Chains A and B, each alone.
Chain A
Amino acid sequence: MAKKTYDLLFKLLLIGDSGVGKTCLLFRFSDDAFNTTFISTIGIDFKIKTVELGGKKIKLQIWDTAGQERFHTITTSYYRGAMGIMLVYDITNHKTFENITKWLRNIDEHANEDVEKMILGNKCDMDSKRQVSKDRGDAISREHGVPFLETSAKANVNVEKAFMDLAQAILNKTPGREMEPRQGVDMTTKKQSSGGCC
């Protein structure tokens, strides 16, 4: 019997228009590096990272999807199994922000009802080219009740936090299937860790 190296497995999905930086965000999170010249994702890509949260070893299985409409029939089949979905737009391109509502609708249609969501406004290092204000991001976040962060894969702003927050949200409602009744203690340590890193 193989030894299990983790306590929980979370499946995450990255969606958003093409060129907003989904692959770069994932690369920053999984390899802590940045590369401006990523080739476009065709179909679906995949990375794994194990993190520790609330005393649990959590394996994050992260799927990276192609942004263009043509690939939706391929990529929507992954929505169902996802426990958390990152919706990414590019703050230097208003169109990608306007499409967030479209992506949210996609989630409603194809994902589990209780899927955790998070909106990311990426490329926040490029302030001189900004087309979408942070306020508009906050507004859409309030409107849909979805947490929101501005990130930069390039300058490494909020990337770790984004993935960890999403994982935390999933963990919070994971029934104690694999947890001992020490749940109460775990909850407080979780609270501290998520509150402290803003």
Chain B
Amino acid sequence: MAAYQARLKQFEDVLKEEVIDSKNLRKLCFNGCPFECGYRSVCWKLLLNYLPCKRCEWDDFLSKQRKLYTHFIDEMIVKPGLDASTGTHQDDHPLNPNPNSNWGTFFKDNEMLLQIDKDCRRLCPDLFFFQKATDYPCKDIIHADSRVETLRKRVEQCVLQSETIKVDRKGNYNKVLSRRKVSEEYMVLPDGHEAHWEVVERILFIYSKLNPGQGYVQGMNEIVGPLYYCFAADPIKECRENAEADSFFCFMNLMSEIRDLFIKTLDADSQCGIGYMMQHFSDMLQSSDQRLYQRIEELNIKPQFYAFRWLTLLLSQEFPLPDVMRIWDSLFADDRRFHFLKCICCAMLIEVRDEIIQGDFPHVMKLIQNVQDKVDLQKLFQLSVIYRRAFGLIAILNGERK
């Protein structure tokens, strides 16, 4: 306990400096950020280059960014929603064939939104959090007399009710009651409330509107999810209140570092993209455990079968959320960002190497798709750190680093 208190004190000291020493901060965060006092949220915002290093700039910066985000919502959701419902543009109407018409854009957006909606509704299903109502919904949208449709409602499908009529032998018409209760697949909150997943949906919608070239790609929900959870479940009220805007910008910064992994045209690129990352990971595995690497090759288990998901999602689908957050502490604190991710991935395989070497294809496939059941996170970290050091040495020997 005393050791933990001492650790909290260390965070307090680093974070109260007028100018945050990022080197110290990284070192401290690499071994895990405490949830207490909202340290994790602050650290992530710093490590993701959202918060400036100078403490005195924080307040101005945050209020500026949060205003900007409100402006985005207004521009991309509220206004188009109002125009659509009131039809202010007389020359524009739902059947307008012009692709640049407001209605055209509205319909195109809905297609993307449909995908985002599907994925957000199934975000972290084993956690009740995302289904719960947020205490800080977007007032402009859910306000009782607001005419703006929520994003969820925009893509909810409505179906005309129909009944089947059957004619019996005597020629009488009978209604066949085929109507069943509409299945309540997702719990929908009453008007005036907004679930956390709807907030995440809005973040992704705005992100994809701002990045039309890339748009929304499945898996981005798994990247923004832990960020939003961190801020929206923070012990400090001010952090929870602004979780939406802050996680939007942190997500944007994080995506700027990993966006190549989500771009299809870069899959086969030799300099960046997921193909390159998987190749690099494979090389690292080979140099750390030749026998294991060979066995995986023999079994014809390609990195696409497992490392694709591990790397693009920063392991967010492999572990329970609290563990993911602990892993991300280290990933964000790593100055050679996402190099350490590959070290963890190597360690994950090496942890179960004996089983891989003895197993056949289906056994090994099952094993490495559910590695979290087999490895102890603490041990995994120790191993990953050792590999990181070893890879660093190899790199020095090869003259890659000064």
Residues of A within 8 A of B (CB): 2, 18-19, 35-40, 42-46, 48, 59, 61, 66-74, 77, 92-93, 125-131, 154
Within 8 A of A (CB), among B258-272: 262, 264, 267-268
| Across-interface contacts of B122 in A (CB, < 8 A) | 37-40
Taking a contact as CB atoms closer than 8 A, the residue among A44, A48, A127, A128 that contacts B308 in the complex is: A44
Q: A129 to B159, Cβ gap below 8 A?
A: yes
Whether B118 pairs with A18 at a CB distance below 8 angstroms is yes
- Residues from chain A with Cβ under 8 Å of B399 in the complex: none
Which residues on A sit within 8 Å (CB–CB) of B180?
A: 127-128
Most buried by B among A48, A71, A92: A71
Is chain A's interface secondary structure helix, strand, loop, or mixed overall? loop
Interface pick from B18-26, B46-54, B331-339, B360-368? B360-368
Interface residues of B (CB under 8 A from A): 115, 118-119, 122-126, 157, 159, 161, 178-183, 185-186, 217-219, 221-222, 262, 264, 267-268, 304-305, 308-309, 312-313, 317, 360, 362, 365-366, 369
Given A42-B309, A43-B309, A48-B366, answer yes or no on A68-B125 (Cβ-Cβ < 8 Å). no
List of A residues within 8 angstroms of B179 by Cβ:
128
CB-based contact A42/B218 at 8 Å: yes
CB pair B217 A68 closer than 8 Å: yes
Whole-angstrom CA separation of A71 from B390 in the bound complex = 33
| Interface pair B125/A38, CB less than 8 Å apart | yes
- Check A2–B360 contact: CB distance below 8 A: yes
**Given A39-B123, A46-B369, A126-B183, list of 11 further CB < 8 A pairs?**
A36-B186, A38-B122, A39-B124, A39-B125, A42-B313, A45-B369, A68-B217, A93-B157, A128-B161, A128-B182, A154-B183
For the complex formed, measure the closest distance between the CB of B261 and the CB atoms of chain A, giving whole angstroms. Answer: 10
Assess the B308–A42 pair: CB atoms within 8 A.
yes
Q: What are 21 A-B contacts with C-beta separation under 8 Å?
A: A18-B119, A18-B218, A35-B125, A36-B185, A39-B222, A39-B317, A40-B119, A40-B122, A40-B221, A45-B369, A48-B362, A59-B362, A67-B218, A70-B218, A71-B264, A73-B268, A74-B304, A128-B161, A130-B159, A131-B159, A154-B183
* A74 neighbours in B (Cβ, 8 Å): 267, 304, 308
- Cβ contacts under 8 Å, A71 to chain B: 218, 264
Q: Which of A37, A43, A73, A130 has the most C-beta atoms of chain B within 10 angstroms of its own C-beta?
A: A43
A44 touches B362 (CB 8 A): no
A88 to chain B, nearest CB (A): 15
Residues of B close to A128: CB separation below 8 A: 159, 161, 179-182
* Cβ-closest 5 pairs across A and B: A37-B125, A43-B308, A19-B118, A48-B362, A68-B218
Contact A43 B304 (CB under 8 A): yes
